[in-house]
């Protein structure tokens, strides 16, 4: 998939993964993909993130592997070199967005206000990450943006949980949600991949019923 909207729309939830041990990357990705969550965001919050992206790309051909927490053009270049199939940022600074515009990488830029949405729309972006979703107004904020900023859809991330995800997905301007709850640190650390797979299956069933 080369279109960010198609990537987002293919799953109800994009797991946001912070991988500290590169040996966990492939079994974690396989557990999530087996459960139906084949679009993964591996954040650049650890020194192992780029190696994790490379490992998952090599071992999980059915997964769509993105890089998250991109902040600079240098981050973008490193993620493309590692094989990331899409990028995600918490915000949209000009230097980063200029680099994204010059690249072919599908991208989900972050925003938290109507002005930021409009600036990104002016650059041609119609699919945005709403972050930090709960702190920035949550469901009520996105509902308020639907009519005045029609044609823009969002992936809310930040404070999204199994308890409120369906409220977000019910909005006409939400295409998917991002969350980390399907890969809790305790289960990852104990290498309970079956437990993570079961948790992901429950999430998919809950969000698509």
Any idea which residues carry the catalytic annotation?
41, 129
Measured from the Cβ of residue 209, the count of other Cβ atoms closer than 10 Å reads: 6
Q: Are 109 and 75 spatial neighbours (Cβ–Cβ below 8 Å)?
A: no
Euclidean distance between CA atoms 62 and 104, whole angstroms? 21
**Rounded-to-integer distance, Cα 60 and Cα 38, Å:** 9
DSSP assigned state of 24? G
Where do the DSSP E strands lie in the chain?
13-17, 39-43, 64-68, 86-88, 107-108, 110-111, 127-130, 153-156, 177-179
Asked if 94 and 73 count as a contact pair (C-beta separation under 8 A), the reply is no
* Torsions phi, psi for 29 (to 5 deg): -60, -40
């Amino acid at each position: 998939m080369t279109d960010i909207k198609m990537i987002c729309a293919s799953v109800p939830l994009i797991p946001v993964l912070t991988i500290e041990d590169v040996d966990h990357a492939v079994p974690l990705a396989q557990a999530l993909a087996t459960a139906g969550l084949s679009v993964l965001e591996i954040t650049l919050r650890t020194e192992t993130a780029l190696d994790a992206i490379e490992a998952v790309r090599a071992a999980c051909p059915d997964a769509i592997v993105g890089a998250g927490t991109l902040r600079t053009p240098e981050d973008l270049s490193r993620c493309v070199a590692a094989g990331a199939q899409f990028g995600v940022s918490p915000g949209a600074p000009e230097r980063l967005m200029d680099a994204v515009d010059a690249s072919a990488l599908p991208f989900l830029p972050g925003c938290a206000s109507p002005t930021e949405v409009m600036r990104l729309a002016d650059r041609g972006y119609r699919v945005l990450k709403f972050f930090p979703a709960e702190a920035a107004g949550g469901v009520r904020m996105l509902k308020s943006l639907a009519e005045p900023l029609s044609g823009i859809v969002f992936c809310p991330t930040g404070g999204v949980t199994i308890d409120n995800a369906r409220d977000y997905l019910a909005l006409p301007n939400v295409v998917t949600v991002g969350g980390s709850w399907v890969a809790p640190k305790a289960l990852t650390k104990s290498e309970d991949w079956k437990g993570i797979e079961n948790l992901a299956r429950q999430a998919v069933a809950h969000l698509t019923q």
